[in-house]
């Protein structure tokens, strides 16, 4: 039998593993407290031809109602080690907020990361941050286990191929992030900006409600044809200045489009687009996967009709 010598839980409720509190049973669930645990359980899964999936804190994750018929591994190892005042190594299981706190103690204010839930593994995977600033900027090296040969490898920042909410790890699912080395030498945010940003986040995002953060990626202006951009301006002449700001920044926010499609506050079952931030879907009571995916599909359809734009999901779905 698979996983006999491991502390694996069977048919674990997936909704307990995601911040939106949605998801069916996980066939096998394992918490990796050390890198060695992780390596051994991955080998056992391979021996038994059982598919696996890695999670950090499930804050960018949506699990289907039928659950996941494989091994789900939550990374818990969480050492943090400053090599000097600007350089720090963190295990993949370190909370992003813990890193932000430790940096602030040293006078480094990682503004865009303030209030982002999740682990360093999840942050590196999704290049977490804002629309134009992200964690990948400060990565020097990423440490991985390659599940093709179970060797530990080191990727340089360039090899990680970071871009807006993307990294090489989206394509190379066989690479499991175990830690990262960061260099914050060029992090020049001021303490005031940092504190103001937290206030702004609290005012504009439904942080106390169950969600997975942004549902869709913002849309890159340079990927949109001229007629699509002109159509946006023509439809909302009263918001010309705001739209010009989007164009200058290079991103049309998905939340703005969802609002203009009339979906702010729109609810299906127990899930709704938040009143505070239209790109956030919140679980207002026993939402299931179908409620959430119906909202996602509706927004995609409406954005296509109204703007001729294909919205791309930011949340990872299994
Ligand atoms: C209220 C709220 C606000 C948010 N605000 C932001 C924001 O401002 N900016 C932003 O970028 N995100 C934001 N998010 C989304 C989310 O917090 C981030 O994407 C976060 O970095 C995900 O980390 P996690 O540990 O929860 O990853 P999970 O949700 O557990 O996993 C996400 C993906 O990363 C992969 N992954 C996780 N760990 C590893 C690993 N060790 N090796 C390989 N792959 C791994 C998983 O397989 C999955 O595909 C927000 C979420 C919430 C709920």
Domain locations in the chain?
9-75, 80-183, 208-317
How far does the centroid of ligand 1 lie from the alpha carbon of residue 58, in Å?
7
Atom of ligand 1 nearest to the CA of 127: 11
Answer for the pair 154, 141: CB distance below 8 angstroms, yes or no: yes
The chain-wide mean pLDDT, for the chain, equals 96
**Ligand 1 midpoint to CA 190 (Å):** 25
Identify which of 94, 121, 313 to mutate to test ligand 1's pocket (most ligand atoms within 8 A of the CB): 121
The confidence score (pLDDT) of residue 79 equals 98
Band of the pLDDT at 281, cuts 50, 70, 90?
very high
For 80-183, which CATH class? alpha beta
**Predicted confidence (pLDDT) at residue 97 exceeds the cutoff of 90:** yes
Query: Cβ of 233: how many Cβ atoms within 10 Å?
Result: 13
- Assess whether pLDDT exceeds 90 at residue 36: yes
Which residue's C-alpha comes closest to atom 49 of ligand 1?
A: 316
| Euclidean distance between the first and the last CA atom of the chain, given in angstroms as a whole number | 25
Q: Closest ligand 1 atom, CA of 126? A: 19
From 122, 133, 216, 218, the mutation candidate for ligand 1 (largest count of ligand atoms within 8 A of CB) is: 122
Ligand 1 center to 225 CA (angstroms): 31
Long-range contacts of 100-104 (CB under 8 A, 24+ apart): 103/184, 103/187, 104/194
Residue 59 corresponds to which tokens in the numbers above?
Answer: 């804050």
Look up residue 148 and give its two tokens: 């093709």
Question: Residue 41: its pLDDT value, please?
Answer: 97
Q: Give the ranges where the chain is alpha helix by DSSP (H).
A: 35-47, 96-105, 120-126, 157-160, 191-204, 226-235, 240-249, 254-260, 289-307
Residue 244 Cα to ligand 1 midpoint, Å, equals: 30
Residue 180 phi, psi (nearest 5) = -150, 150
Does the pLDDT at position 73 exceed 90? yes
Helices within 33-95 (DSSP H only) = 35-47
Please say if the pLDDT value at position 198 is more than 90.
Answer: no
pLDDT of residue 69: 97
Range 298-311 burial, b when 16+ CB lie within 10 A, else e: bbbebbeeebebeb
238-280 pLDDT, tens digit per residue, is 999 999 999 999 999 999 999 999 999 999 999 999 999 999 9
Catalytic residues: 165, 214, 314
- Which residue has the least CA distance to atom 50 on ligand 1? 213
Find out whether the beta carbon of 54 lies less than 6 Å from any atom of ligand 1.
Answer: yes
CATH architecture, range 208-317: Alpha-Beta Complex (3.90)
Ligand 1: centre distance to CA 56 (Å) = 7
- Cα gap 29→153, rounded to integer Å: 25
| Ligand 1 centroid – CA 43 distance (Å) | 25
Ligand 1 within 6 A of CB of 167:
no
Residue 90 pLDDT: 98
Nearest to 213 by CA among 164, 254, 166: 254
Rg of the chain taking only CA atoms, in angstroms: 20
Using the atom order of ligand 1, give the atom closest to the CA of residue 124.
Answer: 21
Whether the per-residue pLDDT at 131 is higher than 90: the answer is no
The residues that bridge with 163 in the sheet, in sequence order, are 166
CB of 169 shorter than 6 A to ligand 1: yes
Could you tell me the pLDDT band of residue 295, with boundaries at 50, 70 and 90? very high
| Tokens of residue 275, six digits | 């009143």
Q: Provide the pLDDT for residue 132.
A: 83
pLDDT band at 31 (very low <50, low <70, confident <90, very high): very high
Which numeric CATH code is attached to 9-75?
A: 3.30.43.10
Q: Whose CA is nearest to atom 19 of ligand 1?
A: 60
Mutation to probe ligand 1, out of 61, 96, 213 (largest number of atoms < 8 A from CB): 213
Token pair listed for 230 = 């002109």
CA atoms of 201 and 193, how far apart (whole Å): 12
């Amino acid at each position: 039998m698979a996983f006999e010598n491991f502390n694996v839980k069977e048919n674990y409720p997936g909704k307990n593993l995601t911040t939106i509190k949605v998801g069916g049973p996980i066939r096998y669930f394992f918490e990796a407290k050390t890198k060695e645990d992780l390596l051994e359980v991955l080998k056992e899964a391979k021996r038994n031809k059982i598919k696996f999936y890695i999670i950090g804190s499930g804050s960018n994750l949506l699990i289907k109602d039928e659950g996941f018929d494989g091994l789900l591994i939550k990374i818990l190892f969480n050492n943090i080690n400053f090599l000097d005042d600007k350089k720090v190594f963190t295990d993949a299981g370190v909370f992003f907020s813990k890193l932000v706190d430790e940096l602030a103690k040293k006078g480094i204010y990682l503004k865009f990361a303030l209030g982002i839930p999740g682990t360093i593994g999840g942050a590196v995977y999704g290049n977490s941050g804002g629309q134009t600033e992200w964690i990948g900027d400060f990565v020097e090296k990423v440490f991985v286990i390659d599940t093709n040969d179970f060797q530990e490898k080191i990727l340089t920042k360039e090899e990680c191929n970071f871009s807006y909410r993307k990294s090489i790890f989206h394509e190379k699912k066989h690479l499991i992030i175990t830690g990262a080395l960061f260099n914050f030498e060029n992090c020049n945010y001021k303490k005031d900006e940092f504190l103001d940003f937290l206030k702004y986040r609290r005012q504009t995002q439904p942080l106390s409600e169950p969600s997975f953060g942004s549902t869709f990626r913002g849309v890159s202006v340079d990927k949109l044809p001229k007629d699509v951009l002109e159509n946006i301006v023509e439809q909302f002449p009263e918001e010309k200045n705001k739209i010009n700001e989007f164009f200058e920044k290079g991103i049309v926010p998905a939340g703005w489009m969802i609002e203009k499609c009339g979906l702010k506050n729109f609810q299906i079952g127990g899930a709704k687009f938040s009143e505070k931030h239209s790109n956030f879907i919140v679980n207002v009571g026993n939402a299931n996967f179908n409620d959430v995916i119906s909202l996602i599909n509706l927004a995609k359809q409406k954005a296509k009709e109204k703007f001729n734009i294909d919205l791309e999901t930011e949340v990872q779905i299994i």
